[in-house]
Copies of this chain bind each other. A is one copy, B any other.
Amino acid sequence: MSFTPRFRDIAHLGHIELLTPKPEESLKFFTEIVGLSESGRQGDSVYLRAWGDYEFATLKLTVAKAPGLGHLALRTADAETLDLLVADLQQHGFQGKWLESDLGHGRAFRFPSPDGHQLELYFETTWFEAPSESATYMRNNPQRRGTRGISPRRLDHINILASDVKANREFYQKRLGMKLTEQIIFDDGAEMGGWLTATNKSYDIAITRDNAGGHGRLHHLTYFTDTREEVLRAADIFVESGVTIETGPHKHAIGQTFFLYVFEPGGNRFELASGGYSILAPDWKPVVWTQADRARGQAWGLKTVESFHTYGTPPIE
């Protein structure tokens, strides 16, 4: 078979399943404070989306004994590409299974990544249709802009931890056609992080080293606000709501995004981000950040807090 995965075979990050041992508190966090909306419920899961997300759901919140990543789903360019990618995966020894459907999307191929993160590839999806009370005159929005709590516009990206960054980022490049845009390579040659994109955003998936030696762990998931002012406003709202801010607001050197990290009640790290830059060049060469660069701190010099280097979910005993 002559198929080789290419950039754009994956259209974008579709949704994330987040595990929480405190489902009620987590749900309240994501709906009342963050301002996502509930699209539906099934089994142990509640399906959520931001006001600008076009699909039925971008966050699936599932009851579990410990926090962590249930799975992350990538939408393919079309149905044919989905089949081609899956065939290619199988040829390369990736075992998985087809799921008939989930609330909000059609058949999906579920398999573990090299580091053990559950991945899902799917194409058929349910477009969100706004009920009349949130219908909008802005025909290019799926619904009226949200006003509850922080109300980010859409899901942005996920940051996963991996014990072997290189092997994993190569998997996303080779098997899924994603583009490597930025990297951290330390003086000893160790890859400490890789940022990959399926779009013109500078990243959709970030992989950073699991310094605890875990597998399949989550660093954080991120929703996007149109403005940095909304991130600043979110910081006020989080603090007033008793949510712990881990670090930020500040600007990442990598990706240039303006960030704010907190912990949701279930224990998972959650980010709000805005800004960043677009990568238009089809022949972009990955930007490499050195150990010395990282020692300088974030864009304006803020030192990265220690927990950022060590904490992931599920926690490691």
Residues of A whose CB lies within 8 Å of any CB of B are 7-8, 11-12, 52, 54, 75-78, 136-141, 144-145, 147-149, 153-154, 181-182, 199-202, 226-230, 232, 235-240, 244-245, 248-251, 253-256, 258, 275, 277-278, 280-283, 287-289, 293, 296, 299-301
CB distance from A223 to the nearest CB of B (A): 13
7 tightest CB-CB pairs across the interface, nearest first? A11-B282, A229-B229, A12-B280, A200-B200, A235-B300, A139-B287, A77-B282
Residue in chain B with minimal CB distance to A280: B12
A34 to chain B, nearest CB (A): 12
Which residue of B235, B240, B277 contacts A52 across the interface (Cβ within 8 Å)?
Answer: B277
Structural contact, B255 and A140, CB atoms closer than 8 A: yes
Overall SS of chain A's interface: loop
Within 8 Å by CB of A277, from B7, B140, B249, lies B140
CB contact between A278 and one of B201, B239, B283 (< 8 Å): that residue: B201
Q: Are B289 and A256 in contact (CB under 8 A)?
A: no
Q: Which residue of B lies closest to A236 (CB)?
A: B145
Contact A245 B139 (CB under 8 A): no
Of the residues B52, B278, B282, B296, contact of A137 by C-beta under 8 Å:
B296
Chain B residues with Cβ under 8 A from A136's Cβ? Answer: 240
With A136-B240, A137-B253, A139-B253 already in contact, 11 other A-B pairs whose C-beta atoms are closer than 8 Å: A11-B280, A11-B282, A12-B280, A78-B283, A139-B293, A145-B236, A153-B277, A154-B278, A200-B201, A228-B228, A235-B300
A75 contacts across to B, CB distance below 8 A: 282
Which of chain B's residues has its CB closest to A181's CB? B140
B145→A237 contact, CB < 8 A:
yes
In the complex the two chains form, what is the Cα distance from A229 to B296 in whole Å?
23
A94 → chain B, closest Cβ, in Å?
23
Report the minimal beta-carbon distance from A153 to chain B, rounded to whole angstroms.
8
A44 → B minimal CB distance (Å):
28
CB distance from A37 to the nearest CB of B (A): 15
Contact, CB under 8 Å: B202 / A140: yes
Nearest CB in chain B to that of A227: its residue: B229
CB distance from A7 to the nearest CB of B (A): 8
Is the beta-carbon distance between B227 and A282 smaller than 8 angstroms? no
Residues of B within 8 A of A239 (CB): 137, 299-301
How far, in whole Å, are A230 and B226 apart by their CA atoms in the complex? 12
Decide: A280 near B138, CB < 8 A? Known: A227-B227, A232-B251, A275-B226.
Answer: no
Could you name 24 residue pairs across A and B whose Cβ atoms are closer than 8 Å? A8-B8, A12-B280, A137-B240, A137-B253, A138-B253, A140-B202, A140-B254, A140-B277, A140-B287, A141-B256, A147-B149, A147-B237, A154-B278, A200-B201, A227-B227, A227-B229, A228-B228, A228-B229, A229-B230, A232-B251, A235-B300, A239-B300, A244-B301, A249-B250
